[in-house]
Amino acid sequence: MIINPLKRVYLALESWFNISFGTEWNPLYHLGTLSFFLFWIILVSGIYLFIPFHGSLDGAHASVEYMTHDQWYAAGVMRSLHRYASDAVIITILLHLFKEFASGRYRGFRWFSWVTGIPNLWRVVTLGITGYWLVWDELAQYVAVGSAQLMDALPMFSGAMTRNFVSGGMTDRFFILIEFLHLLGQPMLLLFMLWLHVKRLSNVNINPPRGLAAGTFLALLALSLYAPAVSHAPANLGMVPREIHIDWFYLNVYPLLEYWPAGRVWILTISVTLLLMMLPWLLPKKDGPKAVVDLDHCNGCGLCFEDCPFDAISVQARTDGARYEHEVVVDPALCGACGICAGSCPASNPFRTPRGELKTGIDMPQLPVDEMRRLTRETIDAITGDLKLIVFGCEHGLNVKRLDCDDTRGIKIICSGMLPPTLVEYALKYGADGVMVTGCRHNDCYFRFGNRWTKMRFDGERKPSLRGRAEHDRIRLHGAAEPDKREIDQDLDELRQQLRALNQAAEIATVETD
């Protein structure tokens, strides 16, 4: 299977982070929640800094210097935390952007999240820019003059912004405007855009694991103590600053103004933004057929509604006059065609109709549960080795067909979450000695929750669960991406040894009973 180069780079980075942090605390699996956590640090530290801050031409720089040096142990640390958390959130956003693009999670039904996510980067950048203005040092002067040039290049302005800085027309009202933008206007707009960004997702979590959050905070605190954030000299509109230390996370376009006119900088910025937002259609991906509800076999239990990762399923009053109170409805525009709903439906039990066609309450037209049951039987019958080992694999993880050998056969499904737990028990009863289920890497499901729901179902923590009478020691879960075949092979070898020992013990028990 060919992997695009960007995805290969990301998977290599992900593997290194798994070795360094473990799968539970891997920052790449929690970039969204880490961003929210960093926003909390920025918010709390910003409120603390606002108390002694004096928003005026004469008092702004002096109050920041007082916080930085006279109260270095409190306000100074808070200022550094505010600065470094703001830089860190740019890193997490850019990594999140790269991860989603490299993994192909921006096309098809995901276009809305991608298109609403790109502007958030600029919302955060402009929020940081106004923060630099408030310090009113030489860097703030440099940013303010550059921003004025950019604003004056827009048709709605006519050079008025730049004249304020050239003619010395600055007043304290300037700080009232910037304080409003930085403390209220921009954060409220960003909050709305973040809500819009996750609007089509369900079970949204904004809190990273506690250990990862604690480690992130301690790292930022250590950096704040080791290299405190400091200011430049006070702003002086009568002089051009000689040396400026740029924060490249936020101020990367300003040096371009020294070489390009402001209009050209706008063209570059807008072009890059529009290109990013158009990627879902420039590199399109067709989604598979959407989930279909069969009311004749749906009791309206709502398990599919609870498990759907993309808020595509709703529960409403019954419309067919059946004895049940509710029914589920699928919105095709939101459906990710992952099949997780089919795996959560209690009617997907393959033991219900041993000989007839298996109908379930919600199913995938491209791979119905009845088809999975038929493939399972045929695959078991085709195995010729001393063991019969079945591997169900997600199409976005390791290609399980690469595992085929005398005693092992792979069955490719859309997502590991679409596998009904009872189908695993059915495979063991029908003749399989063991079953392995592979999905995407742990905590990094292409469809968000497929491997997580599967593990919880097999552990009895989520309905429908794998029944206690199932032979759990013959079942193995292993998340893997395409480069992880060696680890899967090792896990399969261990499972084979375990299965042979179990078979031998069963034969001895049978002989002793006879």
CATH topology of domain 287-349: Alpha-Beta Plaits (3.30.70)
pLDDT per residue of the chain (514 residues) written in tens, 0 to 9: 456 788 989 999 999 999 999 989 999 999 999 999 999 999 999 999 999 999 888 899 999 999 999 999 999 999 999 999 999 999 999 999 999 999 999 999 999 999 999 999 999 999 999 999 999 999 999 998 898 889 888 877 655 565 555 555 567 777 888 889 999 999 999 999 999 999 999 999 999 999 999 999 999 999 999 999 999 999 887 788 888 999 999 999 999 999 999 999 999 999 999 999 999 999 998 889 999 999 999 999 999 999 999 999 999 999 988 889 999 999 999 999 999 999 999 999 999 887 789 999 999 999 999 999 999 999 999 999 999 999 999 999 999 999 999 999 999 999 999 999 999 999 999 999 999 999 999 889 999 999 999 999 999 999 999 988 889 999 999 999 989 999 999 999 999 999 999 999 988 887 776 6
**What is the torsional sign of CA 462, 469, 345, 321?**
negative
What are the residues whose beta carbons fall under 8 Å from the beta carbon of 272, sequence distance 6 or more? none
Q: For residues 16 and 18, what is the distance between their CA atoms, to the nearest angstrom?
A: 5
What are the extents of the domains in the chain? Answer: 31-282, 287-349, 367-514
| Token pair 């929690």: residue | 30
Q: Is 424 left (phi over 0), alpha (psi -120 to 50) or beta?
A: alpha
Q: Which one-letter DSSP state was computed for residue 405?
A: B
CATH topology of domain 31-282: Cytochrome Bc1 Complex; Chain C (1.20.810)
pLDDT tens sequence across 79-128: 999 999 999 999 999 999 999 999 999 999 999 999 999 999 999 999 99
The Cβ of residue 486 has, within 10 Å, a number of other Cβ atoms equal to: 9
What are the residues whose beta carbons fall under 8 Å from the beta carbon of 95, sequence distance 6 or more? 27, 28, 31
pTM of the model: 0.92
As given in the structure block, the two tokens for residue 49 are 């800094």
